Amino acid sequence: MAFELAKRIKTLPPYLFAELDRRKQEKLEEGVDVIDLGVGDPDLPTPQPIIEALKTASENPENHRYPSYTGMRAFREAVARWYEGRFGVELDPDREVIALIGSKEGIAHFPFAFVEEGDVVLCPDPAYPVYSIGTKFAGGEPYFMPLREENDFLPDLGKIPDDVAQKAKILWINYPNNPTSADATEEFFRDLVRWAKKWNVIIASDNAYSEIYTGKKKPISILQIEGAKDVAIEFHSLSKTYNMTGWRIGMAVGNEELIKALGKVKTNVDSGQFNAVQYAGITALNMPEEELDKLREIYRERREAMQGALEKIGLDPYKSDTTFYIWTRVPEGYTSQEFVGRLIDEAGIVCTPGNGFGEAGEGYFRISLTVPTDRLLEAVKRIESLRL
């Protein structure tokens, strides 16, 4: 039998990371020693106290039943305490916090709460693909805001046409940024809050990388900006901070109305996160800062080694000390796809082409610092051997 796909599926490109995984698997089957710098999946293990918390909680029969749609109150309280301690942001755990099955789930579902057929959603470009994909699933139309290096990869709010702003329902931001590794300033966030209030647009902030930084300046939450809670919801995740990508636990916080609307969507499409995983999440959120400092030191060493090595062979990485990505211009004469294709075919290195994150990413490629330093330096040797 032949089954007709819905238009929303037909028009989707292959999901970026699924395609990378396919090409990687081909090389592995050929016996190639592949160095995977593609997907942002930490190679370091989840801290043992988190694992022990899961073990204990999973043995309690009370946790084998349906969980709360919005998350255990104890988890939501832990999120509120963490936000106050980290950002100085006060949150009501009953009205301004909701548990997610990983932040990706919440990001994909959020547009369903506010976007009607034909509504505009402002999405950065390049960006995590789920912002625009979730928009399309909800019937909306993504309007892409190019992130340019000359503007430190911040969207130029002044270049959003008035007629687009009038139709916009949501504006997505992501700082520290994937894929560019750029961070945003308080000044930008203040301007954004003013702009959003002027046009009555929801700010949806993806802050999953706030704890992955290697400099002295800590990234901030948009909710630290005066008036931001009037217009903003922030999505966060334990995935990157605590090496818990496979655990699928995250949270959304912020404006009460926005949280309630997301919760209404979730009650109709999922049944909440397993309580044992939430107990593990509570343990993670209560971990001492010193444990995270150890993780940051590992990424600092990797970033410095990789950036220095890339510069020595004539490549031009963007200077940053946030996220575990390096965003780098491809050599002259290559498109992003051509260069990344040559890396995997001739050097056994998986990187992500910049144009896979959007048209404005053309001319760049992304390196994930999610392998040990010696493998990163081996990757640079292989790139150098290509005599670009």
What is the dihedral sign for C-alpha 204, 320, 242, 86? Answer: negative
pLDDT for 2 beyond 90: no
pTM of the model: 0.95
Residue type, 326: I
> Is 325 within 8 Å of 368 (Cβ atoms)?
yes
What's the CA gap between 81 and 87, in Å, rounded? 10
Angle at Cα 207 formed by Cα 170 and Cα 328, nearest 5°?
100
DSSP code per residue over 328-367: EEPPTT--HHHHHHHHHHHH-EE-EEGGGG-GGGTTEEEE
291: enclosing H helix or E strand: helix 289-312
What's the CA gap between 208 and 251, in Å, rounded? 10
Q: Which residues, including other chains, have CB under 8 Å from residue 69's CB and lie 6 or more apart?
A: 263, 266, 267, 270, 271, 272
What's the CA gap between 144 and 129, in Å, rounded? 12
Cα–Cα separations (whole angstroms), residue 91 to 77, 80, 208, 267, 339: 9, 5, 18, 22, 46
pLDDT for 13 beyond 90: no
Helix (H, G, I), strand (E, B) or coil at 36: strand
With bands split at pLDDT 50, 70 and 90, how would you rate the model's confidence at 1? confident
pLDDT for 284 beyond 80: yes
Average pLDDT over residues 145-171: 98
pLDDT at position 190 is 98
Closest CA to 21 of 2, 41, 49: 41
pLDDT at position 7 is 85
Beta pairing, strands 352-353 & 364-368: antiparallel
With bands split at pLDDT 50, 70 and 90, how would you rate the model's confidence at 16? low
Whole-number percent of the chain with pLDDT over 70: 99
Domain annotation for the chain: domains and CATH numbers: 7-45+290-385 (3.90.1150.10), 48-285 (3.40.640.10)
> Is 223 within 8 Å of 229 (Cβ atoms)?
yes
With bands split at pLDDT 50, 70 and 90, how would you rate the model's confidence at 387? confident
DSSP annotation of 218: P
pLDDT for 18 beyond 80: no
How big is the chain by its Cα radius of gyration, in Å?
21
Q: Give pLDDT tens digits for 194-237.
A: 999 999 999 999 999 999 999 889 999 999 999 999 999 999 99
Residue type, 292: L
Average pLDDT over residues 111-139: 96
> For 41, what's the count of Cα atoms within 13 Å in the CB-facing half-sphere?
11
pLDDT for 103 beyond 90: yes
Length of the chain: 388
Average pLDDT over residues 99-119: 97
Q: Give pLDDT tens digits for 50-95.
A: 999 999 999 999 999 999 999 999 999 999 999 999 999 999 999 9
What's the CA gap between 281 and 263, in Å, rounded? 19
pLDDT for 96 beyond 90: yes
What's the CA gap between 327 and 366, in Å, rounded? 5
Q: Give pLDDT tens digits for 224-276.
A: 999 999 999 999 999 999 999 999 999 999 999 999 999 999 999 999 999 99
> Is 188 within 8 Å of 154 (Cβ atoms)?
yes
Q: Give the torsion through C-alpha atoms of 254, 99, 176, 216, to 10 deg.
A: 90
